[in-house]
């Protein structure tokens, strides 16, 4: 376990370059490419703690005198960025001195997911090819073709399984529809060699799981897709990969559990972790316990007017602190990224409760020194499995510890206005935490704060 964590951390520190570097002005999204690279420009983990970036001046917020545009703002889970190119929206990320993003390291997680699937195939090579045709076929559930994290995960799977093809200097992340004959141009047939024998690996099908109303990462759509796919080429499906557990579990319950087809997701939601005992292949923890803490902690620090690293890289007076193996801070991107851990049959028992707060940051802040403040926070889609079953319960545990009174607003996952309509009176709040429907839409929120 320890060794795994260590090597994972190393991989992150190397791989972070991509997430970390807006090298040469052109901001790269946190998911661009999956390879560990050379050009480590700025400030990963270790520099996070020396960040004297922009301590809050708005510590008098309780008075209600602070303009909305100057109040602390954290974007989380959906990083302001161009949904076609992935380019970070730096205007939104640096909206004011107390603006940050909290997410996780998409490249490192994607690489872990891809490796987990590949290693599973290798370890189970004798039984994995269900119809014995020498082709290991997999299907892939894609969350949102315009979401950095989703794109990274699609690339991670294709890279690890050898099915990736390049497009514009990066791995093509387009869905292929169906590709049972191997003719799709967005992927190629890969190969895996085990015990002197070479197997073809084919992406038989992939699709963005978006419902007719426009909600992405849609679990029900994934359940329907596996129904369609399995009825026409079920014998060829040997592995299922999904950009998240919500969709993965839907496919598992609809088909793959009964057919003993290993299914791999992402998020380490409690139900998915429990399903590992029943044949779910594995998942990735994106350390939601760390992200949820960071989401509220940066607001707390800004409201208190203390160094932003307090209780993060630097212990606070209660003793809360995060170690470098669970997060990195990229100053140039004003972004905190939690690090990922693979959850498989070997270690899943350590991850059974995804809503449990992270012990190193579990100590109550003193209400005298950190008086209650009001936070407006939205979840883009109240029925997103990860956000509703893992992230929000964690936020609700941390808000008490941090003396924050948070109003939780659940969106419909389809329209930004469904959420922004409920930010009618920002003057009532001391700080804001925003999870956009679409990563391009930061201005819909900042416009309201600018009024
Ligand atoms: C999660 C998904 C979730 C998405 C929503 C991702 O980080 O892994 O499960 O649906 O965020 O934005």
Tens of pLDDT, residue by residue over 57-79, are 444 444 458 999 999 999 999 99
Condensed to tens digits (0 to 9), the pLDDT of residues 305-344 reads 999 999 999 999 999 999 999 999 999 999 999 999 999 9
Atom of ligand 1 nearest to the CA of 78: 12
Q: Hey, what long-range contacts does 129-134 have (CB within 8 A, 24 or more apart)? A: 129/199, 129/238, 130/235, 130/236, 130/237, 130/238, 130/261, 131/235, 131/236, 133/236, 134/199, 134/200
Coil, strand or helix: which one is 441? coil
Q: How much distance in Å is there from the Cα of 97 to the middle of ligand 1?
A: 27
Looking at 21-124, list the stretches that DSSP marks H as alpha helix, in order from N- to C-terminal side. Answer: 45-48, 90-93, 106-123
Please give the Cα distance from 104 to 89 (Å, whole number).
Answer: 17
Taken in order 127, 128, 131, 134, is the CA torsion positive or negative? Answer: negative
Residue with tokens 């998942």: 283
Q: How much distance in Å is there from the Cα of 164 to the middle of ligand 1?
A: 23
pLDDT value at residue 61: 43
pLDDT value at residue 64: 55
Atom of ligand 1 nearest to the CA of 387: 3
Closest-CA residue to 240 (of 278, 271, 199, 283): 283
Taken in order 390, 391, 396, 399, is the CA torsion positive or negative? Answer: positive
Quote the mean pLDDT of the chain: 89
Atom of ligand 1 nearest to the CA of 267: 8
Q: How much distance in Å is there from the Cα of 215 to the middle of ligand 1?
A: 12
pLDDT value at residue 65: 86
Which among 29, 108, 267, 410 is the best mutation to test ligand 1's pocket, defined by most ligand atoms within 8 Å of the CB?
A: 267
Q: How much distance in Å is there from the Cα of 402 to the middle of ligand 1?
A: 25
Taken in order 214, 431, 373, 337, is the CA torsion positive or negative? Answer: positive
Biggest alpha carbon–alpha carbon distance for the chain? 72
Measure CA 31 to chain center.
10
Instruction: List, chain by chain if needed, residues with CB within 6 Å of any ligand 1 atom.
Output: 77-78, 143, 149, 217, 244, 246, 266-267, 384, 386-387
Atom of ligand 1 nearest to the CA of 384: 10
Contact between 12 and 105 (Cβ < 8 Å): yes
DSSP annotation string for 320-374: ----TTTEEEETTTTEEEEPPEEE-TTTGGGGS-TTPPPGGG-PPPPTTTS--EE
How much of the chain is in helix, strand and coil states, percent to nearest 5? 35, 20, 45
Atom of ligand 1 nearest to the CA of 243: 8
Strand partners, 199: 192
Which among 379, 387, 436 is the best mutation to test ligand 1's pocket, defined by most ligand atoms within 8 Å of the CB?
A: 387
Q: How much distance in Å is there from the Cα of 285 to the middle of ligand 1?
A: 12
Atom of ligand 1 nearest to the CA of 269: 9
Q: How much distance in Å is there from the Cα of 386 to the middle of ligand 1?
A: 6
User: Which residue, by CA, sits nearest to atom 7 of ligand 1?
Assistant: 77
Q: How much distance in Å is there from the Cα of 286 to the middle of ligand 1?
A: 10
Q: How much distance in Å is there from the Cα of 246 to the middle of ligand 1?
A: 9
pLDDT value at residue 436: 98
Which among 386, 390, 392 is the best mutation to test ligand 1's pocket, defined by most ligand atoms within 8 Å of the CB?
A: 386
Atom of ligand 1 nearest to the CA of 266: 8
Q: How much distance in Å is there from the Cα of 41 to the middle of ligand 1?
A: 28
Please give the Cα distance from 100 to 128 (Å, whole number).
Answer: 44
Please give the Cα distance from 384 to 250 (Å, whole number).
Answer: 13
pLDDT value at residue 169: 94
pLDDT value at residue 41: 33
Contact between 335 and 329 (Cβ < 8 Å): yes
Coil, strand or helix: which one is 230? helix
Given a cut of 50, the residues of the chain with pLDDT beneath it are: 1-63
């Amino acid at each position: 376990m320890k060794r795994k964590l260590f090597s994972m951390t190393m991989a992150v520190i190397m791989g972070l370059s991509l997430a970390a570097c807006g090298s040469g002005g052109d901001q790269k999204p946190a998911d661009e490419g999956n390879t560990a690279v050379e050009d480590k420009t700025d400030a990963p983990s270790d520099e996070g703690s020396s960040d004297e970036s922009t301590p809050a001046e708005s510590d008098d917020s309780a008075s209600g005198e602070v303009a909305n545009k100057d109040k602390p703002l954290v974007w989380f889970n959906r990083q302001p960025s161009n949904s076609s190119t992935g380019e970070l929206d730096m205007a939104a990320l640096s909206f004011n001195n107390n603006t940050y993003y909290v997410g996780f390291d998409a490249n490192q997680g994607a690489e872990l997911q891809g490796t987990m699937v590949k290693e599973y195939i290798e370890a189970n090579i004798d039984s994995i090819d269900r119809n014995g045709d020498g082709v290991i076929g997999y299907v892939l559930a894609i969350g949102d073709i315009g979401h950095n994290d989703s794109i990274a995960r699609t690339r991670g799977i294709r890279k690890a399984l050898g099915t990736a093809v390049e497009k514009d200097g990066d791995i093509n992340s387009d869905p292929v529809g169906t590709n049972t004959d191997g003719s799709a141009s967005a992927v190629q047939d890969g190969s895996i060699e085990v015990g002197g024998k070479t197997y073809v690996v084919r992406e038989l099908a992939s699709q963005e799981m978006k419902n007719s109303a426009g909600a992405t990462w849609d679990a029900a759509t994934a359940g329907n897709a596996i129904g369609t796919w399995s009825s026409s080429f079920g014998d060829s499906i040997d592995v299922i990969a999904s950009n998240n557990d919500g969709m993965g579990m839907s496919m598992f319950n609809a088909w793959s559990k009964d057919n003993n087809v290993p299914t791999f997701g992402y998020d380490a939601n409690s139900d998915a972790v429990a399903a590992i005992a029943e044949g779910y292949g594995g998942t990735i923890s994106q350390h939601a316990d760390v992200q949820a803490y960071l989401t509220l902690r940066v607001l707390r620090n800004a409201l208190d007017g203390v160094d932003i690293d307090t209780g993060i890289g630097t212990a606070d007076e209660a003793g809360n602190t995060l170690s470098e193996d669970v997060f990195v801070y990229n100053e140039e991107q004003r972004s905190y990224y939690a690090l990922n851990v693979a959850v498989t049959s070997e270690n899943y028992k350590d991850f059974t409760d995804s809503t449990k707060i992270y012990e190193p940051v579990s100590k109550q802040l003193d209400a005298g020194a950190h008086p209650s403040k009001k936070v407006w926070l939205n979840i883009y889609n109240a029925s997103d499995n990860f956000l509703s079953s893992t992230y929000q319960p964690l936020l609700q545990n941390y808000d008490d510890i941090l003396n924050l009174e948070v109003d939780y607003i659940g969106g419909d996952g389809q329209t930004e206005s469904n959420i922004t309509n409920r930010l009618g009176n920002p003057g009532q709040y001391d700080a804001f935490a925003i999870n956009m429907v679409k990563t391009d839409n930061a201005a819909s929120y900042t416009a309201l704060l600018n009024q």
